[in-house]
Amino acid sequence: MITAVIPNYNGAARLQKLLPQLQRELETAGRILVVDGNSSDGSVSLCQSLGVPVLQLPANLGFARAVNAGIEQSLPDSEWIGILNNDITIELGFFSTLLNQAKDGVWFLAPRILSAADPTLIDGTYDLPTRAGTAYRAGAGRPYADSPFQHPRDIHCAPMTAALFRSDLFRELGTLDDDFGSYLEDVDFGIRCIAAGRKGRYVPDAVAYHEGSATLGGAWSARSTRWISRNQLVLVRKHGFPFWPAVAGQTLWGLLALRRGRLLSWAIGKLEGFFTNVKSIRHQNPDWLVLNTEREIDELQRHHGYDWYWRQYFRFAPLPPEDQNQ
């Protein structure tokens, strides 16, 4: 049994496109659960008209809490739990194509996610976290036709834009960290998967299309910039990543925010992240958790041609020799 969990806030227009696709895909193999944050745009009545169950929350409590509420309701009778943004659409055979790669030892599955605005471009494949508390969504913004992402591969961190997880993984590791609210909660969960030795699989033949940050106003909106800035610092504090890569990586990200006129949002986010009460995790060697994913970022950037951010990041926070990786 698959349960597709969709967190939603005022996304009726997007649900109207996604829900019929999911009903077609899960007609005999699963169910849909929309977790609604007290929408005022008719989202609940739309779901009811389509016969889709809705778990209603008292307010918009953020992505992590909405997803957790859906996971907790789905755990008793679901083998797999899909987590899907409301601003995606999917191609025919989405879930069956993912499950074709569900071999022993594979705990989660990530599709190829393309940009809804330009389907020739990758929106996301899988995430690669860093010591800085930042993360690279592998291939984002690059043409799919000229990329190394055309074949399945093992991964450590699945973007919860659209992904499928064994329910036992949440029973073992727990659900998302509510402290993150929205953004980087999936990267935090991925780091916890790395620490537990739980890996997944990227499946490019399963395809979704993503609008991108629709609920919080789009990429580099004031709200999304503030949340990401905050949660970068929360991620570093939670996992005990070293001081200098965090300073270098997050300052460089702040310069990107400055270029887009969002320096104030970045600064407010950092203040919020500093004063957030963080549930820290003691890792024996925090660096080791993400050095392999940083090496993969470096390899992918070499293949594509370095983005400004990653060129500067590896300049100021160079990778140690591989024999020092553990």
Instruction: Give 160-177 pLDDT, tens digit per residue.
Output: 999 999 999 999 999 999
pLDDT at 15 over 90: yes
- Structural domain count of the chain: 1
289: helix, strand or coil = helix
Q: Which residues pair with 113 in a beta bridge?
A: 124, 208
**Out of 65-79, 161-175, 210-224, 274-288, which region has the weakest mean confidence (pLDDT)?**
210-224
Q: What is the 3-state secondary structure (H, E, C) of 36-83?
A: ECCCCCCHHHHHHHHCCCEEECCCCCCHHHHHHHHHHHHHHHCCEEEE
Residue 292 lies in a domain: yes
Domain contains 234: yes
pLDDT of amino acid 284? 80
- Please report whether residue 108 resides in a domain: no
pLDDT value, residue 213: 58
- Tell me whether residue 188 is in a domain: no
Note the pLDDT of residue 27: 84
Range of the domain at 264: 222-324
The answer to whether residue 283 sits within a structural domain is yes
What DSSP letter does each residue of 113-134 carry, written as one string?
EEESS-TTBEEES-EEE-TTS-
Q: Lowest-confidence range among 130-134, 291-295, 300-304?
A: 300-304
Q: How would residue 288 be classed by pLDDT, with cut points 50, 70 and 90?
A: confident
- Over the stretch 93-108, which tens digit does the pLDDT of each residue have? 999 999 999 988 999 9
Does residue 3 belong to any structural domain of this protein? no
Give the global pTM: 0.93
**pLDDT confidence tier of residue 242, bands split at 50, 70 and 90:** very high
Per-residue confidence (pLDDT) for residue 285, from 0 to 100: 82
Average pLDDT over residues 260-269: 97
pLDDT at 237 over 80: yes
pLDDT of 50 > 80? The answer is yes
Decide if 109 is inside a domain.
no
According to DSSP, residue 143 is labeled B
Signed CA dihedral, 286, 249, 293, 291: sign only? negative
189 pLDDT higher than 70? yes
Average pLDDT in the 287-311 region? 92
Residues in the chain: 326
Measured between alpha carbons, how far is residue 270 from residues 183, 217, 224, 262, 280 in Å? 14, 20, 13, 13, 17
Q: What is the mean pLDDT of residues 209-217?
A: 68
Residue 80 within a domain: no
152 burial via Cβ count (<10 Å: 0-12, 13-18, 19+): middle
